[in-house]
Amino acid sequence: MIAVSAVPLVAGALSGPAAAGVSASAGAPAARAASPASSSAPSASPVSSAYGGAAAKTVSYRGMRLSIPAAWRVVKQAGSAYVITGRCVPRAYECPGFWLHGPSAIRHGHEGNAYKPSRPYYPSSGMMECSRDRRYLEMADERPRVAALRPIGAKKAHHREWRFKCVTPNGGKVKLTYAQREWFLPRSQILVVDKWANPALPGILARARW
């Protein structure tokens, strides 16, 4: 296993050592440098096939192993891990990607209180900057758009999809909306949070190994 190199969530915003408890093993190297969605050397893994043959690697977090494209990067932040899946977007609060949260984040996952699937992951007790555009503030709907069980490997996770609205600081005019998807395993104490609607993520989680 090789440690994952740390990279910023937003350009110049975060750097540090590889996450403790988070590791990655690389698959066959790509024939050329590839972006997260580009084609490269063939590989037999499902993720490689899903990404046009791009090389894959395995990321481990709290006993869960995910096969992801080798071009994706992982950073740590206070016991959690963030998987960066694409280039940073101007004005976005964080680069496109998804969070792998553990006990600490779960303990304070909704307005400072413990996370529960009945409420969205929203750790602040006040208004937070919009993940897609920091000029605005964000708020969630009262009820989820999707409430179901979804697989993370052989385990069933509580899956929720929440609609978030990004509004102007003065007057609260809605400027944009996005979906926040969550997968929660209470016994494993793992919470996956995706604010970028990555189309590959449900399949990646379904193929997880333990």
Q: What is the pLDDT of residues 95-123, one digit of tens each?
A: 999 999 999 999 999 988 899 999 999 98
Report the relative pairing of strands 97-101 and 80-84 from DSSP bridges.
antiparallel
Instruction: Give the integer Cα–Cα distance in Å for 36 and 165.
Output: 27
Residue 40's SS3 state is: coil
Report yes or no on 5 lying in a domain: no
**Residue 27 CB neighbours (<10 A):** 20
How much is the pLDDT for 19? 43
How much is the pLDDT for 124? 81
Indicate the number of domains in the chain: 1
- Give the domain range for residue 149: 22-206
Report yes or no on 16 lying in a domain: no
The two three-digit tokens of residue 99, written as one number: 């969070």
Q: What is the mean pLDDT of the chain?
A: 81
How much is the pLDDT for 63? 98
Report yes or no on 66 lying in a domain: yes
Report yes or no on 12 lying in a domain: no
Residue 104 DSSP symbol: H
Report yes or no on 83 lying in a domain: yes
The residues with which 192 forms a beta bridge, in sequence order, are: 100, 183
Which residue, among 73, 70, 55, 62, has the nearest Cα to 4 in the 3D structure? Answer: 73
- Tell me, yes or no, if the pTM score tops 0.85: no
Report yes or no on 11 lying in a domain: no
The residues with which 195 forms a beta bridge, in sequence order, are: none
What's the one-letter identity of residue 41? A
Stretches where the chain sits below pLDDT 70 are: 1-54
How much is the pLDDT for 196? 97
